[in-house]
Amino acid sequence: MNGKQGDAMGDATNGPALNKPPLLIFTDLDGSLLDHDTYDWQPASGWLSRLEREAVPVIPTTSKTRAELLALREELGLIQTPFIAENGAVIGLPPSWQHARLDRDPASPDGLVVKTPSLDVDFIRRRLDVIRERHDLRFRRMGEMSLEEVRELTGLGAAATEQAMTREGSEPLVWEDDEVKLGKLHETLRIDGLHLTRGGRFWHVMGAVDKGQAAEWLVARFQALRGYRPRTLGLGDGPNDLALLAATDMSVVIAAGHGQPMPLEKPCVYRTRAHGPQGWSEGVSHWLQKELGWETEFPDERQAPENDAGDN
Residue positions annotated with a catalytic role: 28
A 10 A CB-CB count for 68 gives 23
- Name every residue whose Cβ is closer than 8 Å to that of residue 185 and which is 6 or more positions away in sequence: 131, 135, 137, 139, 196
Give 227-291 as a 3 state SS string. Answer: CCCCEEEEEECCHHHHHHHHHCCEEEEEECCCCCCCCCCCCCEEEEEEEHHHHHHHHHHHHHHHH
Give the alpha-carbon dihedral of 279, 235, 281, 200, to 10 degrees: -40
Q: Are 6 and 12 in contact (CB under 8 A)?
A: yes
Query: Can you name the residues that pair with 223 across neighbouring β-strands?
Result: none
